Chain A
Amino acid sequence: MNATITIWSKHMTKFFRNREELGGLLLQPILWVVLFGVGMGALVRNVDGSDYMSFMLPGVLALTALGGAVGGGMALLDERLRGILKEYLAAPIPRLSILMGNAASTVTKALFQATIILVVGALMGAHITGNPLGWVALVVLLAMFTIGFAGIALAFAARSKSIMGYHGLIFLFNLPLLFASNALYPLVNMPGWIKAIALANPTTYLIDALRGLTFGGTASIALPISFAVTTLFAALGMALALWSFRRTIR
């Protein structure tokens, strides 16, 4: 735990010092909300009884979390290729704490971005719940989802031989996770086979629960199931990361 906090705070220090990363990370979600929201919003007024901005925001949150997780994997890969990882490995700390520190900073950054998305989204007319429980649910669900995907990214980052190789692999996961989900179109209207894929995708459960709890829509999947799936996804992601990491450092 101590090491996790130390590594987390180190990443945050570097993050606030790096103006490029900071600026890109803050600007990117704004662009998503504004450009996509305005463009699609002009085409589609209403989805499933909610306005398009409210319908779209959970998807933008998920997309941003995916991007953040890719960045988290990048940070580990960078530390690995530079050899900085050796400092942690020679220290009396659990191997998992190294991964947890990385995932924790990834989640922190994703929550920063989520805040911006919500503020911009609200300004653009999204209906966001006033119920504090809806906010807590958002934080928990988004954190779990980010940890899960950060785990997958870390698992790749622990094995990749180069930055190019890592990006090639990770994009095989990244876009399908978004498109084969209910992020852009509602679950009910999907053809059966896409729906089957979407239901195997944890992104769907995050987005569905967020729509129901935070954005004034109705959830089409039972909430306990969505929470269970995202939590399980987080656990499996980190387990995969640890397994891959242990194999690398043998």
Chain B
Amino acid sequence: MTNISTHTMVATQGLTKQYGSVSALDGVDLTVPGGTIYALLGPNGAGKTTTINILTTLAQPSAGSAQVAGFDVVRQPDEVRKRIGVTFQDLVLDPDLTGRQVLDIHGRLYRQPTSLRRQRIDELVALVQLNDAIDRLVKTYSGGMKRRLELARGLMTDPQVVFLDEPTQGLDPQNRATIWDYVRMLRRERGLTLLLTTHYMEEAEALADTVGIIDGGRKVAEGTPSALVAALGADRIRISGSGDASHLLSELRALPFVDSVTPFERGLEVGVDSGSRRIAEVVASASGNGFTVEDVSVLRPSLGDVFLQYTGRALRD
């Protein structure tokens, strides 16, 4: 690899997209260094697909600018198109073609010579393990096979940057894990830059070097998954039991190391600076005030909590 891997491969400045009076994207800045995986995490309607559409030249921004592989998506769309691979959110495969025809037609659109197409198809079919199915009609494929075929198509033209819009939506855990393996492998062995969108927390956590949390068309947080979690700082101690928790609640709130106390159905959730260090003190304050503790657990924050923190909402699958 040359210094390509250190270049910025995807960048946006103040990216904005308006559909009529509705603002789908509202000033998003992104920087994705070469050879890394960036995950845009957000609920449906957050602006993820709009971002992908602009970066893959399918839509034009209302304001702001974007570059992919060093080319401007509005002024040099063909240069961008030559260098990217895309899989879209919906399966966009022709059901009446065979897998091999899907890949071959794709290569022909990009003017790949016959010998190169044949070679690429052999490689990719082996990679995504569609050997037995590649000459069957796509309509006979399972959902997981279709996703793998789409991934192969996205890689057919040896792109520098690959965009994956919700790459595992609707897949069972096993197929999801397979796709994750491919994605990691592509970054590791080919130095590809990948930008994916997802509304699965685990997916962002499992794959991304950098996660951007996007909500209502704005980027609300960005960082490595671990840094984002660490920035939350606190652990939570979950006390469940029976009895009247109101005294315990006010007592805990008075403690200096407690950030927050949130009641739930069967007890309280206590935000503290460090769960393992404070657990004894928290449990101790629960004795003799009308509440009987039955279970205590320390919860490390997850990316889900990060999301909740920044958007005020839980992210549901």
- Complex: A214 Cα to B290 Cα, angstroms: 103
> Which residue on chain A has the smallest CB distance to residue B137?
A17
Given known A-B contacts A13-B97, A87-B106, A250-B60, A82 and B92 have beta carbons under 8 A apart: yes
A101 — nearest CB in chain B belongs to which residue? B109
Q: How far is the CB of B120 from chain A (nearest CB, A)?
A: 15
Among residues of B, the one whose C-beta sits closest to the C-beta of A10 is B105
Shortest distance between the CB of B124 and any CB in chain A (Å): 16
Q: Does A132 contact B (CB under 8 A)?
A: no
What's the Cα separation between A82 and B88 when bound, in Å?
A: 11
Tell whether B101 is near chain A: CB-to-CB under 8 Å: yes
B110 contact from A10, A83, A91, Cβ within 8 A: A91
B58–A86 touching, CB < 8 Å: yes
Contact present for A2 and B108 (CB under 8 Å): yes
Please give me the residue from chain A that is nearest to B59 by CB atom.
A250
Q: Is the interface of B mostly helix, strand, loop or mixed?
A: loop
**Residues of A with C-beta under 8 A to B277:** none
Q: How far is the CB of B250 from chain A (nearest CB, A)?
A: 56
Contact: A92 with B101, CB < 8 Å? no
Task: Check if A3 is an interface residue, CB within 8 A of chain B.
Answer: yes
Whether A89 touches B57, Cβ cut-off 8 Å, given contacts A13-B97, A14-B96, is: yes
Contact with B along A4-26 (1 / 0, CB 8 A): 00100010011001100000000
Q: In whole angstroms, how far apart are the Cα atoms of A133 and B120 in the complex?
A: 47
Quick check: is B111 within 8 A (CB to CB) of the other chain?
yes
A144 CA / B108 CA spacing, docked (Å): 27
From A6, A17, A82, A249, B109 is in contact (CB under 8 Å) with: A6
Interface residue? A31 (CB, 8 A): no
The smallest C-beta distance from B98 to any residue of chain A, in angstroms, reads: 9
Chain B residues lying within 8 Å of A3, measured Cβ to Cβ, are: 109
Contact with B along A79-113 (1 / 0, CB 8 A): 00011101111111100000000000000000000
A138→B23 CA distance, assembly (Å): 53
Q: Flag if B58 contacts A90 (CB, 8 Å).
A: yes
Question: From residue 149 to 163 of chain B, which have CB atoms closer than 8 A to chain A?
Answer: 153
- Partner of A90 from the list B56, B90, B101 (CB cut-off 8 Å) is B56
A83 touches B105 (CB 8 A): no
Residue pair B58, A89 in contact (C-beta under 8 Å): yes
Chain A residues contacting B101 (CB-CB under 8 Å) are 10, 13
| Mask of B79-94 contacts with A, CB within 8 angstroms, 1/0 | 1011010101011111
- A-B interface pairs (CB < 8 A), number: 58
Residues of A within 8 A of B94 (CB): 10, 14, 84
Chain A residues closer than 8 Å to B135, beta-carbon distance? none
Is the pair A83, B88 in contact by a Cβ cutoff of 8 Å?
yes
CA distance A195 to B82 in the complex (A): 53
A14–B108 alpha-carbon span in the complex (Å): 16
Cβ contact of B92, chosen from A2, A13, A84, cutoff 8 A: A84
- Tell whether, in the assembled complex, residue B109 and residue A88 are in contact, meaning their CB atoms are under 8 Å apart: yes
A17 partner, pick from B56, B58, B92, B96, beta carbons under 8 A: B96
Q: A3-B109, A6-B108, A10-B97 are in contact. Are A92 and B82 (CB under 8 A)?
A: yes
Find the B residue at minimum CB distance from A2: B111
B308 to chain A, nearest CB (A): 32
The CA of A91 and the CA of B58, in the complex, are separated in Å by: 10
Q: How far is the CA of A91 from the CA of B153 in the complex (A)?
A: 12
CB distance from B247 to the nearest CB of A (A): 59
CB distance from A156 to the nearest CB of B (A): 21
A93 touches B109 (CB 8 A): yes
Q: Are B110's CB and A92's CB within 8 A?
A: yes
Complex Cα–Cα for A6 and B104 (A): 10
Chain A residues contacting B106 (CB-CB under 8 Å) are: 87, 91
CB pair A91 B81 closer than 8 Å: yes
- Tell me the smallest distance from the CB of B64 to a CB of chain A, in Å: 16
Give Cα A127–Cα B60 distance, bound, in whole angstroms: 56
Q: Nearest CB to that of B82 among chain A residues?
A: A92
A80 to B84, CA, bound (A): 21
Question: For A90, what are the chain B residues with a Cβ–Cβ distance below 8 Å?
Answer: 56-58, 81, 84, 86
Assembly CA distance A18 to B97 (angstroms) = 11
B36 to chain A, nearest CB (A): 22
On whether the beta carbons of B92 and A86 are closer than 8 Å, the reply is yes
Chain A contacts for B153, CB-based, 8 A: 87
User: In the assembly, what is the distance between CA of A250 and CA of B111, in Å?
Assistant: 25
A91 and B92 in contact (CB under 8 A), knowing A10-B97, A13-B101, A14-B97?
A: no
Q: Is B78 an interface residue (CB 8 A)?
A: yes
Whether B92 lies near A87 (C-beta < 8 A) is: yes
Q: Which residue of B lies closest to A82 (CB)?
A: B92
13 CB contacts below 8 A, A to B, read A2-B109, A2-B111, A6-B109, A10-B97, A14-B96, A86-B58, A86-B86, A86-B88, A87-B153, A90-B84, A91-B110, A92-B110, A93-B109
4 additional A-B residue pairs with CB within 8 Å, beyond A89-B58, A92-B110: A14-B97, A91-B81, A91-B106, A249-B58
Residues in chain B within 8 A of chain A (CB atoms): 56-60, 78-79, 81-82, 84, 86, 88, 90-94, 96-97, 101, 105-106, 108-111, 153
Closest 6 CB pairs of A and B: A83-B92, A92-B81, A6-B108, A92-B78, A91-B109, A92-B82
